Structure 1
Amino acid sequence: MIPTFIRAYETSAAVAGYRIVKFSDAGSSNKIAQADSKTAASLGVSDAMGADTGGMCDVHRAGLVSVELGGTVTAGAPLTSDADGKAIAAVAAAGTTLRIIGFADEPGVAGDVVDALLSPALLHQA
């Protein structure tokens, strides 16, 4: 077992397991939902159980964790969220800034659950 930092958050919508999550209304609460874009305020990855709407969801905030892929990635690729909270390779277009959740620790394709090193950051392309 590789230690991680895990914190429980109340959900504002159902969250599936191994999905990237975001603050759903950062201005008024710290409730979470599945991330839905490359620019979402992503904070971590849900555990295997996920949670129903209004439930408590354990979220990995740091460490080496499992995440479901929404596309093909290579080991070492920076990861961001697709529309379903699945991890995809982050590729910033000119003049854009993406939120990344971390880096793939192994290659995989859509539907795979792979390990990723969480390291939230911004990826900007001038």
Structure 2
Amino acid sequence: MNIPGLTTAHVAGAAIAARRMVTRDTEPESVVTAINGKSLIIGVTTAISSDEGDHTDVIRGQLALVVFGGTVKAGQPLTSDAEGRGVPAAAGDWYLGFAECDGEENDVGSVWIAPGQAAAVAAN
């Protein structure tokens, strides 16, 4: 089943693997692999990997497939590991969205794209 959503075109600021989370690069319209949850994650790449300078499509809104970077449970907010794979977000992390299924490292699973930032732990 095809569920149309928002996909935008960008330029890869470095090589980006398929189905990885991305963040904005320093150049306009450029994206790079997200390496953690410390900056806004704007979307996930399609099934096509990109070399530096290539145009790359970024899925920005809908259900999308992403490679998991560890154990994931349905409903968990997902942020990026150092390779752009989806992992559970910690307090204060930016997240791309919510896992639609359980999975393990290197599984391809579904994420419902709804970006946000996990609440930080209150200091006592």
TM-score normalised over the length of structure 2: 0.93
Question: 2:5: which partner in 1?
Answer: 4
Note if contact 2:95-2:118 (Cα within 8 Å) is conserved in structure 1. yes
SS in 2 for 1:17: coil
Structure 1: 5+ residue stretches without partners: none
In structure 2, which of residues 93, 107, 118 is the aligned counterpart of residue 123 of structure 1? 118
Give the deviation of 1:4 after TM superposition. 1.8
Question: 1:104: which partner in 2?
Answer: 99
Distance, in Å, in 1 between the alignment partners of 2:110 and 2:103 is 10
CA offset digits 1:21-42 (Å, max 9, x no partner): 00011xx523101001111321
Note if contact 1:4-1:65 (Cα within 8 Å) is conserved in structure 2. no
Give the deviation of 1:63 after TM superposition. 0.2
Moved over 4 A (4+): none
CA offset digits 1:89-125 (Å, max 9, x no partner): 1121xxxx21000000000000000011000111122
Note if contact 2:37-2:93 (Cα within 8 Å) is conserved in structure 1. yes
Flag the structure with higher strand content: 1
Question: 1:48: which partner in 2?
Answer: 47
Letter in 2 for 1:41: L
SS in 1 for 2:118: strand
Distance, in Å, in 1 between the alignment partners of 2:119 and 2:87 is 16
Percent same amino acid among aligned pairs?
35
TM-score normalised over the length of structure 1: 0.91
Distance, in Å, in 2 between the alignment partners of 1:69 and 1:43 is 17
Give the deviation of 1:73 after TM superposition. 0.6
CA RMSD in angstroms, aligned pairs only: 1.0
Alignment length, in residue pairs?
120
SS in 1 for 2:42: strand
Question: 1:32: which partner in 2?
Answer: 31
Structure 2: 5+ residue stretches without partners: none
Distance, in Å, in 1 between the alignment partners of 2:90 and 2:35 is 16
